[in-house]
Amino acid sequence: MAKPFSLRAAGILGAIALAFACSAPKAQEEEKVLNIYNWSDYIADDTIANFEKETGIKVRYDIFDSNEILHAKLVAGKSGYDVVVPSSYWAKLQADGGLLRKLDKSKLPNLKNLDPDIQATLARLDPGNQFMVNWLWGYTTVGINVDKVKAALGSMPMPENAWDLVFKPEYMAKLKSCGVSFLDSPTDIVPAALHYLGKPAFSRNAADYQGVPDLLKKVRPYVTLFSSSGYINDMANGSICVALGWSGDVNIARSRAIEGKTGQNIQALLPKTGGVLFFDTMAIPIDAPHPDNAHKWINYIMRPEVHAGLTNKVFYANPNKESRKFIKPEVANNPTVFPSDAEMKKMDLPEAVTNDVRRSMTRIYTTFKTGV
Ligand code: N2P
């Protein structure tokens, strides 16, 4: 039955009002603030300033140095952060746990700049690339102060496999005198130990973990520092000579030593068996207060010059295929920043870990660190 005109008109007016309300641009409602939580020593000097200048959005930038710390904030909720940068295998746990918001790709046209191979690698943990955009990537490895290590080893030659330096007590006993630092997180140390034992770094098979506590226990007396950030300056100024650390961080230490003329010759090593790869990813917490601004930031980072600027400053590779021409030759040609295909084949890729696996990594690590 046809409705009386007035009712029809009211219905139409209502629909118009509703359509207007829905199509009102959301970005305009969002305050001009963006809260970012990222790793320490992981951004260029002008990245934030240029974004602020261009968009008028004020960035508040906090730092962390382990996935565990970031995860605890996301699990607690109401972190206030709009963009966080978990490693991909953590981001998978977070996406599965409903802690992240799906990206709106219509707001990320610069996704076109990303290398399809890296996107495919991420898609192993994030099918359809729905939650994560790679910030930078690198690998866990061994860094050394070349002269101090040689002096400490004395008549012992350098091992063929750099991992021996940190996992073989014979080497560690000598290196203790010049200072050995280990990353301070279960999900970095345990995968490196598994890799050294020839097991998958993110194994889901409990039996693979059996040799790890003993391996770690034997070198524990010689670890002089646990650090995932301060070790950069400690390497640069010569107060430690070996680090089980991250590729870019060791290169940052190298460049700080050169710039600061500290006289320390720092080198990131490519172990014979490879390193353990990580892909740190921009993601938006489910309760982010400024999701539109978050998308603007992510899209800005994916500009070739911006992504290249990060790599030039912190010596981690980026996923941006269009950025290559903006990368300084000395960085582009550094095989520890962009390892060859042959090196890449040897590296362990991050794999999804269950919460149970993660907890058992924490148990093993805590026992190791506290030395009980
Ligand atoms: C930044 C190190 C981040 C690499 N300093 C570990 N995901």
- For 100-122, what is each residue's pLDDT tens digit? 999 999 999 999 999 999 999 99
Q: Is 64 helix (H, G, I), strand (E, B) or coil?
A: strand
Write out pLDDT tens, residues 222-280. 999 999 999 999 999 999 999 999 999 999 999 999 999 999 999 999 999 999 999 99
**Cβ–ligand 1 contact at 316 (below 6 Å):** no
- Residue 143 alpha carbon to ligand 1 centre in Å: 14
Residue 184's pLDDT is: 98
Percent pLDDT > 90 in the chain is 91
- Strand 242-246 to 133-145 pairing: antiparallel
Q: What is the DSSP letter of 242?
A: E
* Ligand 1, atom nearest to 41 Cα: 5
Prediction pTM value: 0.92
- Residue 246 alpha carbon to ligand 1 centre in Å: 7
- As a three-state string, the secondary structure of 311-362 is HHHHCCECCEHHHHHHCCHHHHCCCCCCCCHHHHHHCECCCCCCHHHHHHHH
Phi and psi, residue 63, nearest 5° = -125, 155
Q: How confident is the model at residue 19 (pLDDT cuts 50, 70, 90)?
A: very low
Q: How confident is the model at residue 46 (pLDDT cuts 50, 70, 90)?
A: very high
Rg (the chain; Cα; Å): 24
Tell whether the model's pLDDT for residue 284 goes beyond 80.
yes
Percent pLDDT > 70 in the chain is 92
- Averaged pLDDT for residues 339-363: 95
| Separation between Cα atoms, residue 148 and residue 203, nearest integer Å | 35
> Which residue CA neighbors atom 3 of ligand 1 most closely?
39
Bin 22: left if φ > 0, else alpha if -120 < ψ < 50, else beta: alpha
Residue 371's pLDDT is: 87
- Residue 42 alpha carbon to ligand 1 centre in Å: 7
Q: How confident is the model at residue 28 (pLDDT cuts 50, 70, 90)?
A: low
- Averaged pLDDT for residues 131-150: 98
What is the CB neighbour count within 10 angstroms for residue 1?
Answer: 3
Quick one: which of 177, 136, 131 has its CA closest to 154? 177
Which string of b and e fits 161-170 if b means at least 16 CB within 10 Å?
Answer: bbbbbbbbee
Beta strand segments in the chain, E = 33-39, 58-64, 83-84, 100-101, 133-145, 180-182, 225-226, 242-246, 266-268, 276-282, 284-285
Q: Is 290 helix (H, G, I), strand (E, B) or coil?
A: coil
Residue 43's pLDDT is: 98
Mean per-residue pLDDT of the chain: 93
**Cβ–ligand 1 contact at 90 (below 6 Å):** no
Which string of b and e fits 35-70 if b means at least 16 CB within 10 Å?
Answer: bbbbbebbbbeebbebbeeeeebebeeeebbbbbeb
Tell whether the model's pLDDT for residue 3 goes beyond 80.
no
Q: How far is CA 275 from CA 63, 179, 192, 194, 264, in A?
A: 25, 22, 8, 11, 24
